[in-house]
Structure 1
Amino acid sequence: MSAKGKETAKQEIHKTLNLCNFCTRKIGISFIDEYETAVIWKLWIQLWFIGSAIVLFLKLSGQVNYVVNKLVTSSSIEDFVASLHIVGYDTMSFGKLLTIWWMRNVFRKLLTELEDLWPISDQDKDATDIKNEKLSRLRIIQFWYAFWNIFGVWLYNLTPIVIYVYHKIQGAPAHLGYIWHLSYPFDKTLPVYHELAFVFECYAGTVSVWSMLGSDIFFMNMASHISMLLRLLQLKIRRLATEDTKSKIKSVDCYDDIVGVIEIHQRLITYGKDLEDAFSVVFLINVLLSSVNICCVVFNILLDPWMAMSNKFFLGAALTQVGILCWYADDIFTSSSGVANAVYESGWYNSNIRCQRALMILMQRSQKPLYFTAYKFRSITMSTYSSILTSSYSYFTLLYTMYRSD
């Protein structure tokens, strides 16, 4: 690819990452920005990230301490479960924050490699339609996913204020509560400490959402791009040995084209495996915690009418979050499986023996599809999403039965 073509590809790829970059900047990370070389600027970026990580760690630690204390000192199920789903969400957010920081150089390298594979020509209408469809769908899903999460966290942040104002209007005793269930090393009910705790919880909740969105939207982008490239590869394969069918040629030599297709296929497989290695731990955390999060928030919706609206948005965000990850992982699985079908649908019967043997090798390799795993324990597809929902319902029925029996 020419230097001009690479620059065009780079601009188009970065444009798809604008929302991801907006979120990651809030926690001091960027995969596409060219940072200044000044030492002060580098130090400021590092301090910003360290501050975000510390805030999220303190929030998570306070929640875990609160839950453990309730488990030890209270026999009430509702007290123990009240903030368990938030603990799960923050655990995932903290894990994703560390992942995107630890893998930041790997992600930058993947984006650079993607420039060589990116389609920039608009001469092929079918290929352009596939590209435009994928990018359009990605933009819509990104926007609504980010909106849902951001709106949800601000519902949590504003709920104590709304309750306080409502009680004031009604003439009832009013007290500004807290957003999350956290344990502090000081008496948070004292003046000044109360306000500081409330501001900390507002900011920490927002950092948690930025971390979640930054990681998830980056994965959505990369998975969508890999799926698009696999579909474009299928289009190329279907056209092999078909251009000369009208001239009755029965021994078309398209070996060089087949070699080119195989090279692209191998690069996409390697590319997908690198992305899978980067996100496998994140997937494991998602699979382990999503069922518990969904179960606990449904239980809280039934018990706490004041927080029901916020919890409903959390439920929607939890279902959407794990659903989108499973859907994009399944999309890659389906697209890579379709390569074998594309070989069969090509004009292989018009090609010579040498080409047919090469196509046979390509078909055999593509029958082992590309897929993502939860740290190699299980593959991530839409069936994984179904099993998570089934597990959530089982946990909820058990929890609700225990609650009713008390």
Structure 2
Amino acid sequence: MPYIEVKIRPMLDTHKAVEYHWRVWELTGIVQTPGSNRIWNLVRGILINTLITLLFPLTLVANLFFTKNLQQVCENLSITITDILANLKFLNVYVMRDELNEIRDLLMLLDKRARDIGDLDELEALHDAVKISRTSFRIFGGIFIFGTTLSCFRVAIATERVLLYPAWFWFDWECSIVTYIIILVYQLFGLTVQALQDCANDSYPPAYLCILTGHMRALEFRVRRLGQHTEKELNYIELNDCIDDYIYILELHAIIQKILSVPSMAQFVCSAAVQCAVGLNFLYNADSNDLSAMVLSMVFFMAVTLEVLIICYFGDRMRTQSEALLNAFYFCDWFDQLPKFKQNLIICLQRAQQPSLIYAGNYIPLTLESFVKIIRSTYSVFTVLLRAK
């Protein structure tokens, strides 16, 4: 008897798409780890968020008042704006933690439905969505690790004492080796924590969009199979089950819209500002032949651009998938079904005709068209600043 290899898929849990993000949020104390000590979580959260989330950007802002030229202003602004934006996103996660738990509950309902049906195409679509979401976290993590490592490399090869990033401290670190080492250790710890926060903050919007798209894809497969039973009453029951799942998806979409509206708008505005500041800083470093600073500026520019591109890309995928779901309702085997089947289908079609989009600030849709417009606007502002240089 020939040996047949059976590929066993792991148990479906689409909330694992944001598993890494929840670990970061638990580590930094803004959500509580299940079964952990509440007092310890509170103490850890207060210490980390006081020393890093609050104090870290204050040293950046204070340094703006001690810059000596426009080049230093551009270098400091690019870091300061990014850090403040990251902390605002972090605060948004804390404010929206109840909504994040609601998303987990809805995903559990949708996962149970997919497991009970057991269709391989549906399960494959959902597992792929989880895989892509976790990969996006790793991509952002790699970018932040590379940037932090490059900052450390600049300090190591510097001919004089420099900090990991431009910041102001009330200690005279230039004349005291002990103070200098203490500040470097604090900055390295701060950069590590901020890199973790930034990685989670920047990758959780596309992760939620990706998993929502995955559930739309799974529902599309399910809807296309409607009408295959010879007993029409069973087809009617299956349609109602699909409509129930579609309602869960709409609720999921509404919660994600609420969570991402403000941080996405802030991301667009701040990314445009950072791109201009980084671009000018790169030109200044090119004039001074500072190669390491030029490379760091390029990495910074690519990172802030990638943040906007990824969220717009996944928003655009969700819109395309919602249109595919609409087509699935149209092309199911409805013409030979019961009148009540057709009536419910018409009601569902009326809602499905509205494309599923996430709007930044409830105004700008997260699509690739919006990304192109933002890049064009940023380039226009940059050319004006370049003439002023």
Same fold (TM over 0.5): yes
Q: Look up the match of 1:94.
A: 87
Q: Look up the match of 1:262.
A: 243
Question: Where do residues 177-326 of structure 1 align in structure 2 (5 Å cutoff)?
Answer: 177-191=162-176, 192-244=178-230, 254-304=235-285, 305=290, 306-326=292-312
1:309 CA drift (Å): 1.7
1:372-391 per-residue CA deviation (whole Å, 9 max, x = no partner) reads 22232322222222122212
Q: 1:319 and 1:146 mapped to 2: Cα distance?
A: 15
Q: 1:122 and 1:234 mapped to 2: Cα distance?
A: 14
Q: Look up the match of 1:3.
A: none
The answer as to 2:34 corresponding to 1:48 is no
The answer as to 2:137 corresponding to 1:142 is yes
- Alignment size in residue pairs: 371
1:115-154 per-residue CA deviation (whole Å, 9 max, x = no partner) reads 1111225842322332233233333333222212222222
Q: 1:208 to 1:388 in 2, by over 3 A?
A: farther
Worse-matched range after superposition: 281-290 or 193-202: 193-202
Q: Secondary structure at the match of 2:359?
A: coil
1:95 CA drift (Å): 0.7
Q: Secondary structure at the match of 1:28?
A: coil
Q: Secondary structure at the match of 1:120?
A: helix
The answer as to 2:367 corresponding to 1:386 is no
Q: Look up the match of 2:333.
A: 347
Consecutive aligned runs of 4 or more in structure 1 exceeding 4 Å deviation: none
The answer as to 2:333 corresponding to 1:332 is no
Q: 1:105 to 1:190 in 2, by over 3 A?
A: farther
Q: Secondary structure at the match of 2:161?
A: coil
Q: Look up the match of 2:54.
A: 57
Contact between 2:17 and 2:211, CA under 8 Å: does it hold in 1? no
Q: Look up the match of 1:364.
A: 350
Runs of 5+ unmatched residues, structure 1: 1-6, 165-173
Question: Where do residues 88-167 of structure 1 align in structure 2 (5 Å cutoff)?
Answer: 88-118=81-111, 119-120=114-115, 123-161=118-156, 163-164=157-158
Worse-matched range after superposition: 108-117 or 86-95: 108-117
Alignment root-mean-square deviation, CA: 2.5
Contact between 2:77 and 2:274, CA under 8 Å: does it hold in 1? yes
Q: Secondary structure at the match of 1:240?
A: coil
Contact between 1:252 and 1:350, CA under 8 Å: does it hold in 2? no
AA partner of residue 321 (structure 1): E
Q: 2:48 and 2:189 mapped to 1: Cα distance?
A: 9
1:14 CA drift (Å): 5.2
Q: Look up the match of 2:35.
A: 35
Contact between 1:92 and 1:212, CA under 8 Å: does it hold in 2? no
Q: 1:220 to 1:120 in 2, by over 3 A?
A: farther
The answer as to 2:20 corresponding to 1:19 is yes
Identical columns (%):
20
Contact between 1:241 and 1:254, CA under 8 Å: does it hold in 2? yes
Q: 1:121 and 1:216 mapped to 2: Cα distance?
A: 33
Q: 1:26 to 1:388 in 2, by over 3 A?
A: farther
AA partner of residue 160 (structure 1): V
Q: 1:351 to 1:303 in 2, by over 3 A?
A: same
1:198-227 per-residue CA deviation (whole Å, 9 max, x = no partner) reads 222222222222112223333333222211
1:265 CA drift (Å): 1.0
Contact between 1:242 and 1:350, CA under 8 Å: does it hold in 2? no
Runs of 5+ unmatched residues, structure 2: 1-9
Contact between 1:242 and 1:346, CA under 8 Å: does it hold in 2? no
Q: Secondary structure at the match of 1:143?
A: helix
Q: Calculate the TM-score normalised by the size of structure 2.
A: 0.86
Q: Secondary structure at the match of 2:364?
A: coil
Q: 1:268 to 1:123 in 2, by over 3 A?
A: closer
1:189 CA drift (Å): 2.5
1:30 CA drift (Å): 4.8
Q: 1:287 and 1:141 mapped to 2: Cα distance?
A: 19
1:101 CA drift (Å): 1.9
AA partner of residue 277 (structure 2): C
AA partner of residue 64 (structure 2): V
Q: Look up the match of 2:4.
A: none
AA partner of residue 199 (structure 1): V
